[in-house]
């Protein structure tokens, strides 16, 4: 049985105008798409115009944290986080899983998984929450890394700003499977199918000044 606790509630802006069958509000699906990423594209409005910047993010439960310096444009707009109304944002995460080649140009597509979250972001001001968010931001990129690095000191904390977006008005969109050619096109001589898209990591490259006695840690080998 699906309960309200398992799903986000659709709203006018999380119901797509096209390909509605690809949309989902399932929390587990939304979280899995977010957890596989560490880069989002954060949109906000400045002087009436849209701005989209790639930014590190992390998920902690039903909260997303986005990293920035205190000098960055979106964060300045959130003011001190408490006294200001916050910054309306749209945070989008996309994975491309395959190139879908149909016989017709029209039916070419991509297999993908995306999440679009709308809401109002606020700067994190609570010191404990800021520490939690910073650890999560490091661990979102390399799980286990925050425990194996020097934590931020007071000066660094003061120079770092993190904004929070609560997951509430959010949806996933997923396409899977092969091309959907029209029946009359199936005898055309063109190859059709899916080219899988893969992400991966190369061999870690030590810093120039790294003591050669320091081995590559297990959490990197596990990537």
Range 22-81, binding a copy of itself (CB under 8 A): 39, 41-46, 48-54, 56, 69, 71-73, 76
What is the closest distance, in whole angstroms, from the C-beta atom of residue 17 to a copy of itself in the complex? 5
Q: Which stretch binds a copy of itself (CB under 8 A): 2-10, 26-34, 78-86, 194-202?
A: 194-202
Range 123-162, binding a copy of itself (CB under 8 A): 134-135, 138, 141-142, 145-146, 148-153, 156, 159-160
The DSSP symbol for 188 reads: S
Distance CA 141, CA 201 (A): 12
105 interacts with a copy of itself by CB under 8 A:
yes
Distance CA 202, CA 94 (A): 22
- SS3 call for 72: coil
13 interacts with a copy of itself by CB under 8 A:
yes
Distance CA 9, CA 15 (A): 10
What is the closest distance, in whole angstroms, from the C-beta atom of residue 166 to a copy of itself in the complex? 16
Question: Computed over its alpha carbons, how large is the radius of gyration of the chain?
Answer: 21
The size of the interface with a copy of itself (CB under 8 A), counted in residues, is 93
Spatial neighbors of 207 by CB under 8 A, at least 6 apart, are: none
């Amino acid at each position: 049985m699906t309960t309200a606790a398992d799903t986000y509630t659709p709203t006018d802006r999380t119901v797509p105008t096209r390909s509605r069958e690809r949309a989902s509000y399932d929390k587990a699906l939304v979280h899995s798409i977010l957890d596989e990423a560490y880069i989002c594209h954060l949109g906000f409005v400045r002087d009436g115009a849209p701005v989209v910047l790639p930014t590190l993010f992390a998920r902690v439960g039903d909260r997303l944290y986005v990293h920035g310096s205190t000098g960055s444009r979106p964060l300045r707009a959130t003011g001190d986080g408490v006294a200001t109304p916050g910054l309306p944002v749209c945070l989008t995460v996309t994975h491309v899983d395959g190139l879908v080649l149909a016989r017709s140009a029209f039916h070419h597509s991509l297999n993908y998984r995306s999440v679009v979250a709308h809401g109002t972001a606020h700067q994190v001001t609570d010191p404990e929450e800021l520490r939690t968010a910073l650890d999560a931001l490091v661990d979102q990129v390399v799980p286990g890394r925050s425990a194996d690095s020097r934590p931020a000191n007071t000066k660094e904390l003061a120079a770092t700003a993190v904004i929070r977006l609560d997951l509430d008005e959010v949806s996933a969109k997923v396409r899977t499977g092969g091309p959907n050619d029209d029946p009359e096109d199936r005898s055309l001589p063109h190859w059709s199918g899916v080219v899988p898209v893969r992400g991966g990591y190369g061999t870690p490259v030590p810093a120039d000044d790294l003591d050669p006695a320091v081995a590559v840690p297990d959490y990197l080998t596990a990537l």
